[in-house]
Amino acid sequence: MSGRLYVIGTGPGNPAQTTPEALAAVADATEFFGYGPYLDRLTLRAGQIRHASDNREELDRAKAALQRAATGANVCVVSGGDPGVFAMAAAVCEAIDHGPEEWCAIDLVVVPGITAMLAVAARIGAPLGHDFCAISLSDNLKPWPIIEIRLRAVAEAGFVIALYNPISKARPWQLGAAFEILRAILPADTPVIFGRAAGRPDERMAVARLADAEASQADMATCVIIGSAETRVIARKGRADLVYTPRFIREDAK
């Protein structure tokens, strides 16, 4: 008799943004697999077991969790944000797809969470108020030329762009290269939002013009949102600027 495998998202790190559904999954599981800092967000009982692993070992972590669930344990794989957005749910599905037949019998329950771009957008207004896309800027898992093609395609077609995994020590130049590509397509005044650790004590939100945006304004905890040509900034006396993308496009737009 195989157990249940939860794949949960804790949201961006503010406990008030973790859903009751995710907390119920935590209460029901006895073993937890995840990147250490995400496991640190959980309050566990005595007897609940932590298996912390490095951020890069997603497929091995998924396999280890599936093996434990196959023996009958109720297991929880923990992502930050939403588990389905550049996170563990796809790694678990990949492991099932290429794993032993018995893993298909496991009761897999994916529990959604607030993903970073939604939390960042909420803190600054409504930059995702119209058509938008999410792109991982990591070229660990896909060739850089595909990322370039995608950036051009969505910028030319008028999407707002949320960039996940914008920069890391091992990937220092990609975000700057992305800005260069976008500067050739979008107006210089296009707002760029650097949303770091939204909702956490170390939150830092900044808005730059695309012409002035610098990769050094982002770190690994940052989600970068680049507006479309329609995106607007509202200056407010005594309050932070609001950034939003109108719900409508005029008939005379491109």
Site residues (CB under 8 A) for its own copies, limited to 128-147: 128-136, 141-143, 146
Please answer whether residues 90 and 61 qualify as being in contact, where contact means their C-beta atoms are separated by less than 8 angstroms: no
Neighbours of 69 (CB within 10 A): 27
Would you report the helix, strand and coil content of the chain in percent, each value rounded to 5? 30, 30, 40
* Of 181, 180, 177, 176, the residue nearest 218 (C-alpha): 176
Tell me which of 27, 105, 211, 220 binds its own copies, using CB under 8 A. Answer: 105
For the segment 196-215, give every residue that binds its own copies (CB under 8 A). Answer: none
Query: Interacting stretch for its own copies, rule CB under 8 A, among 30-38, 63-71, 111-119, 172-180?
Result: 111-119
- 227 is a contact residue toward its own copies (CB under 8 A): no
CB of 57 to its own copies, least distance (A): 13
- 86 is a contact residue toward its own copies (CB under 8 A): yes
Please answer whether residues 218 and 224 qualify as being in contact, where contact means their C-beta atoms are separated by less than 8 angstroms: yes
Tell me which of 43, 45, 170, 239 binds its own copies, using CB under 8 A. Answer: 239
Tell me which of 52, 122, 185, 206 binds its own copies, using CB under 8 A. Answer: 122
- Locus of tokens 């910028």: 155
73 vs 96, beta carbon nearer its own copies: 96
- 100 is a contact residue toward its own copies (CB under 8 A): no
For the segment 158-177, give every residue that binds its own copies (CB under 8 A). Answer: 158-159
- 26 is a contact residue toward its own copies (CB under 8 A): no
* Of 127, 123, 124, 119, the residue nearest 242 (C-alpha): 124
Continuous segment of H or E residues that includes residue 69: helix 58-70
Phi, psi of 148, rounded to the nearest 5 degrees: -60, -45
List, as one string, the DSSP characters of 3-31: -EEEEEE-BSS-GGGS-HHHHHHHHH-SE
- 157 is a contact residue toward its own copies (CB under 8 A): yes
Query: Interacting stretch for its own copies, rule CB under 8 A, among 39-47, 181-189, 214-222, 240-248?
Result: 240-248
- 85 is a contact residue toward its own copies (CB under 8 A): yes
Query: Interacting stretch for its own copies, rule CB under 8 A, among 89-97, 169-177, 189-197, 200-208?
Result: 89-97
Strand-strand pairing, 31-35 and 49-53: parallel
- 72 is a contact residue toward its own copies (CB under 8 A): no
